[in-house]
Amino acid sequence: MIITKKQSSYILPLASLSLILALLINPSLSIDAAKTGLLLWFNIVLPSLLPFIIASNILMASGSVYFFEKLFRPIMWPLFRLPGCCAFPWVMGLISGYPMGAKLAANLWNENQITDSELQRLLSFCNNSGPFFILGAVGSGIFNDPALGYFLIKVHFISSLMVGLIFRFYGQASRPRPSTYNNTFKPASSIGGVLASSISSSMEVIAQIGGYIIFFSVIGALLRKASSVLTLAKIVNLLFKPLGMTASLALSWIIGLSEMSNGISLLAKVQGPQTLKLAVISFILAWGGLSIHAQSLHFLKNTKIKTPLYLFGKFLHGVFAFILTYILL
C-alpha cells in the first residue's frame, strides 16, 4: 500500500493525539517517567556534557579548529577520505559524547568547509557516546566496575572506526582541498565576549537535550505497556534464544532503542547472561536511541544528509559493537 502525501500529513497529528490520550490514561506513569528523565539529565547529562559544549564553542571561536586540521590532516584523507578540518568534530565527538559530533559536523557544513557527501561520511563515525558516560554512568555507576567501562569504551571507538572505514567509499571521488580555516576562524579579540556567547549558546543546547531526554523517557515508559512492543520483544527473544536471551532482557533492549540511558539502566537490573547483557548494552551505546537521533537531527535539520543512511550507519555501529563485545568478553 502506497501512502499519499495527503495521507502522510495526517500521521503526525494522529500520533500527537494518540500520545496525549496515552498520557491522560496513564498520568502517574507519565509523571514518574518525566521525573526519571529530568533527574537523569540533571545528575548525569548536564554536568558531564555542558563543560564540553562550552569548551568546544570556545575552541571554535579561538581558531583551534585549524590546529586540529593541521595535526590530523595526514590521516583523515587516507583513512576516511575527509579533509583535515573534520578531525575537530571527530575528536570532540569522541570526548564529549552525543550529540556534539553531529552539532560540530553541521557547523562545518554551514561554514561551507565540507560537501554533502563528506558530511555524510563524517557523521558515520563522529557522533558517539562519550567516555565520561560509558565509564562513569555505565562502568562505575551501574556495574561498579571501572575496568568494564574501559573495555566498553575501546569496543565503542573501534567499532566506530570500522563504520568510518566502510563509509569512506560513499559518495563521489574528490581530491583533498586546501584549508580555509586560517581565513574563516580568527582568534577572538575579547575573551569575555567569547566566554559569554559560548555559555549562552551552550545553555540553550543543553536545555534542548534535556527536553528530548524527558520526552523520550515518557515515550519509553508508555512503550513498555504497548502490545506491539511486547510482540516485538517476543520476536527478539526468539531470535537470540540460542545466546541465552530472556523475555525481560529482550524488552529492555527494545526500550533502549528508544532512550539509551533508561534502556541501559533497565538492562543492568534484568536477569540474563552477563556477556549477552553487555553485548546488548554495547549495541545500545553505539546505536544511541531515538532520543539521541532526534537531538542530532535537530542540529542537522538545515543540511542535506540522507537520514536513513545516517541511521543505517548507527545501526551498523551497533552491530559491530555487539559482535566485538560478545567475542572479546
What is the DSSP track for 209-222? HHHHHHHHHHHHHH
**Would you tell me the crossing angle of helices 191-223 and 260-269 to the nearest 10 degrees?**
50
**Would you tell me the crossing angle of helices 116-126 and 307-328 to the nearest 10 degrees?**
30
In angstroms, the first-to-last Cα distance of the chain is: 45
Per DSSP, 243 falls in state: G
Backbone angles phi, psi at 106, to 5 degrees: -65, -35
- Please count the other Cβ atoms lying within 10 Å of the Cβ belonging to residue 169: 9
| Location of C-alpha cell 528508544 | 258
- pLDDT tens track, the chain, 329 positions: 445 555 556 677 877 887 788 778 888 888 998 998 898 888 877 887 788 778 877 877 776 767 777 888 888 999 999 988 898 899 888 887 888 899 889 989 998 989 999 999 999 999 999 887 788 778 877 777 888 889 999 999 999 999 999 999 998 656 655 555 544 445 545 777 788 888 888 898 888 888 888 888 888 888 777 777 888 888 998 989 999 888 889 988 988 888 887 788 788 888 889 899 999 999 999 999 888 898 899 889 899 999 999 999 999 999 999 999 999 98
Position 124, amino acid = S
| Cell numbers linked to 186 | 580568527
| Cell numbers linked to 299 | 542540529
- Distance, CA of 209 to CA of 83 (rounded, Å): 29
Identify the helix (H) or strand (E) that includes residue 292.
helix 290-299
- How many Cα atoms sit within 13 Å of 17 on the Cβ side? 5
Closest CA to 76 of 155, 177, 180, 172: 177
Backbone angles phi, psi at 3, to 5 degrees: -90, 125
Q: Do the beta carbons of residue 71 and residue 107 sit within 8 Å?
A: no
- Distance, CA of 52 to CA of 254 (rounded, Å): 30
The alpha carbon of 304 is separated from its chain's Cα centroid by a whole number of angstroms, namely: 19
Q: Tell me how long the chain is.
A: 329
- Distance, CA of 135 to CA of 143 (rounded, Å): 10
- Please count the other Cβ atoms lying within 10 Å of the Cβ belonging to residue 1: 3
Q: Do the beta carbons of residue 188 and residue 169 sit within 8 Å?
A: no
Every domain of the chain and the residues it spans: 26-171+188-328
Identify the pLDDT of residue 286. 95
Closest CA to 323 of 282, 277, 271: 282
Say whether the peptide bond before residue 242 is cis (omega within 30 degrees of 0).
Answer: no
Structure pTM?
Answer: 0.83
- Distance, CA of 95 to CA of 107 (rounded, Å): 17
- How many Cα atoms sit within 13 Å of 317 on the Cβ side? 29
268: which residues sit within 8 A by CB, 6+ positions away? 142, 143, 277, 281
